[in-house]
Structure 1
């Protein structure tokens, strides 16, 4: 580390707050592929419930969920996990919290509303930790990705596209929220463009969309300088976005796009410190250029006291680490609580996600683009991303598939690594999904329909059948 780096102390961070200026822009759009809508879309569920005059669980409801299948342990043969044990239970939910888990023969208050899970498996709901809800074609006419030869081509194209999509940002975002809810996602971290083209308008509209679904989904928002923090002179805009409620400050390829790694990273980290916010940077840079940025960001994280608050999205350069260096880097990231958000890319450089997870790095998954100017392939299903990881890394056995669920749930699994039941417990939020599957391993491998999606007890998507008396 050079002398300038050594002098880059936390005290300097805290003392160098810049005055807020400029206008902050965040885009918002959603896309338009009806074929991608899951069968459990909330609109369909609402229609079904209306037709049967079934009361749906709401925010302050107290009710029983009957005949719920819960994982209870692993079955071993010759020292290997070969199957998963389950039991049926009745669960009481009060104001969004699980208050009782009962044997199906135990008595309960029959004055409560009762819904029959019919033996379906209860799993933790999903977290999509990298999605662009403000910048998608979803909800409108089909469009493939924008033709480009480099990142600057698409940045230039966005200067027109963002204005074209601006009038329907909120509408598209709400349709995208419905889409991911139907797939069982009840927590999103949405990146939102901050650039001189649309000012703060996309952020304003994205916040309105998320507010309309606040009882069904939780969220974070990353103020993302898609056109370059330095390249588009976006610092003032980012600061305004943080004042408007963005939870994380973003960044983009500090060398390839901004042309000055140290200044770009320092500016991003300074904003995070000034607003006591998190960081989530898009780092597509490969090879040594990208690794230098990872190392420098790790140093800045330590110096600024941002441990546990920094995420590197994509982090493609980690795929180029040699044996030994990969473990060293993973240990450094884990020691600082720096997480990695990945869309599980398919390509010539396979990301070392299993190694990162083994070394206790928090690995999060995201769907990233949902048919937007950058890619048409996202379908909005975070469980499909865990399924892809299982295929990519050759996880075919019961235990491996069972543990792969953690990628989709933000680390929560019904069983711990030794097969002890750890979820759900009394006192947990009733944030879960019901699927027609026998166990987590089957769910990851077979991608069953999400029949019902609960967020803090609220039926966010799908349907629940009233239990017969």
Structure 2
């Protein structure tokens, strides 16, 4: 039996005022959702309409459900007693301290991951790309816990599960552990700083390529290495992609080095990323001591950029609440997105590029046949939602409400 959502506010276009300002226009609609969780039809709410099996949304604005595209469900301390982080001298020492607690934390991974998933769902995301530690200390224990947690919420969230060599790829039996993970539920392969961590760029990249091709899976590389070390690593991998016909199967997380090089080098890399359909997964970690990728430049050159919250409340940082919309707000604020169009287009970084209006202000979402996955908020438009994220949100995934 189909269901109806009544009095849903949707963006319909924009109005240009004499002073040059732009205002987003909206209208109320009734939306029919079929039994498969897709939109069957949209009706303008101009007359009284009282179908069976209906939920009145009372004029709340509908936005595309959000996507959390860089996360670590296995790392959080959520559901455990409070503790802050230890001071470290660098990445390697941080990894060392993390390794000391892995075995104990693995025992309650499902519990902690479940708490994190609920936070993410509550903030409006219905998809999570999560990296999961696969290492000599705990083998596949974290993978088992994360998969069990995701299964509990399968009606509300889809996931990409990345087998991630957090403590290095080339030590011990990690390559074979990654293979085991891909046989047992992981859907993607991760990589981590072939220069800074493995200290053997070519061998690390070649081993990653061999495993990825063996299992025909996509790759998501964490590249923290700064400057030309990180830049060279990305270039070298794209060379291998060209040689092996691996186009369209790689994304790069963090990629801080792209913010360290010259603008001509940034443009050259943007063109290569576009050519190979490689996206950048950014956690938008604005601080005074680190450059981040040139997100606006990448976007201008057609490179897909997606945001993620990364880990929150774990051995790396006590901060974060898992709100991907707040990431979009922070990005827009720091990069001075202040106009109606700039703000509403910034929503695309957390919706896999889907925005209610296109860049010219024409309505493009939702339409009949689309998946019935929404975030409902008490905002006037998506620009206001990005600039002033509302705390209260209701998420629907394929026709099913989460915590209505």
TM range (shorter): over 0.9
Q: Deviations over 1:306-364 (max 9, x none)?
A: 22211110000000121222111101101101110000111342430011011111101
Q: Which sits farther off after the overlay, 319-328 or 88-97? A: 319-328
Partner of 1:192: 132
2-side partners of 1:343 and 1:79: how far apart?
36
Question: Residue 353 of structure 2: SS of its match in structure 1?
Answer: coil
1:383–1:444: 8 Å Cα contact kept in structure 2?
A: yes
> Equivalent residue for 2:43?
102
Please say if 1:441 is aligned against 2:383.
yes
Count of aligned positions = 401
The 1-side partners of 2:100 and 2:236 are apart by 34
Answer yes or no: is 1:411 the counterpart of 2:353. Answer: yes
Kept after mapping to 2: 8 A contact 1:81/1:399? no
- CA shift at 1:429, angstroms? 0.5
Matching residue of 2:240: 300
What is aligned with 1:244? Answer: 184
Q: Is the 8 A contact 1:121 1:439 kept in 2?
A: yes
> Which whole-Å CA distance do the structure 2 matches of 1:63 and 1:203 have between them?
36
Residue 400 of structure 1 aligns to a residue whose secondary structure is helix
CA distance in 1 between counterparts of 2:206 and 2:297 reads 29
2:332 to 370, 384, 390: 390
The match for 1:219 is: 159
TM-score, length basis structure 2: 0.96
d(CA) in 2 for partners of 1:253, 1:324 = 24
Q: Against the structure 1 CA distance between its residues 375 and 91, is the aligned structure 2 distance closer, same or farther, given a 3 Å change threshold?
A: same
1:370–1:376: 8 Å Cα contact kept in structure 2? yes
- CA positional deviation for 1:159: 2.2
> How far apart, in 2, do the equivalents of 1:124 and 1:142 lie?
34
**Which residues in structure 2 correspond to 1:201-280 (within 5 Å)?**
201-280=141-220
Q: CA RMSD in A?
A: 1.4
State the Cα distance separating 1:104 from its structure 2 match: 1.2
| Corresponding position: 1:330 with 2:255 | no
Long gaps (5+) in structure 2: none
Structure 1 stretches of at least 4 aligned residues deviating more than 4 Å after TM superposition: 78-81, 106-109
Superposed displacement of residue 298, structure 1: 1.1
**Is this contact kept in 2: 1:273–1:304, CA < 8 A?**
no
CA distance in 2 between counterparts of 1:322 and 1:152 reads: 28
- The 1:78–1:361 alpha-carbon spacing in structure 2 relative to 1, beyond 3 Å, is farther
Q: In structure 1, how many angstroms separate the alpha carbons of the residues matched to 2:21 and 2:108?
A: 50
The 3-state SS of whatever aligns with 2:76 is: coil
Quick check: 1:315 aligned with 2:251? no
| Residue 226 of structure 1, CA deviation | 0.4
Q: What does the per-residue CA deviation read over 1:425-452, in whole Å, with 9 as the maximum and x for residues that have no partner?
A: 0000001110000000000010013431
Q: State the match for 1:14 in structure 2.
A: none
Per-residue CA shift, 1:395-414, capped at 9, x if unaligned? 11111101100011111000
Q: 1 or 2 for the larger relative contact order (CA 8 Å, sep ≥6)?
A: 1
Q: Shift of the alpha carbon at 1:164?
A: 1.6
Counterpart residue number, 1:401: 343
